[in-house]
Structure 1
Amino acid sequence: MNPIMQAAAAQLHDQQQQDNALALTLLREALVRLSVRSELRDNDSALMITGRGAALPLWVFVGYGGNDFSWQSAEKRHPVNDVAGAAQALADYIGR
């Protein structure tokens, strides 16, 4: 790959990481409104849900090309363009 293509690919990757971090931040804010404790981890690449209702920490990622939040080994997912719905799905999943 030539240097120009490498730079373009790196910029695209960085933009995707920023978009994923923003989506997880918005999800965290929506979870706070539902009284679900969570925190961003690993350079904002994952959201960890802890506390009452979650027997073990539940890790949430942005996957599927940035289109979905995913959890439970990617068996569960919800579109990133529906943050409130994703927060409710996660709250229901942990029994809140």
Structure 2
Amino acid sequence: QPTGVLEWISDNMSPELDNKLKQAIRAKRKRHFNAEQVHTKKKSIDLDYRVWEKLSQRANELGCTLSDAIEYLVSEASRSEQASKTVTSLKEDLSKLLSDDK
């Protein structure tokens, strides 16, 4: 009875509510189909407002989405950590070399 539903909607709902209903249905379908594939599956996280605000500002600076900003910042933190470990290792090796020369 889809035609009956469409008739009821046109008779009883304002165009604005009809539009909102269509948007909600499209969003639900998109979430459903995106959830079927791992690379399009979405996860939700809760953020404190101040964290969201900082992340949002950073995403705007980078010209990207919040998800892209998180991915970028995590990658940068990982690179920074790796560089720090490398520098520490080089310092230790240099220190050993200098102490062996004495």
TM-score of the pair, normalised by structure 2: 0.31
Bigger Cα Rg: 2
Considering Cα pairs closer than 8 Å and 6+ residues apart, tell me whether 1 or 2 has the greater RCO: 1
Q: Name the one with the larger strand percent.
A: 1
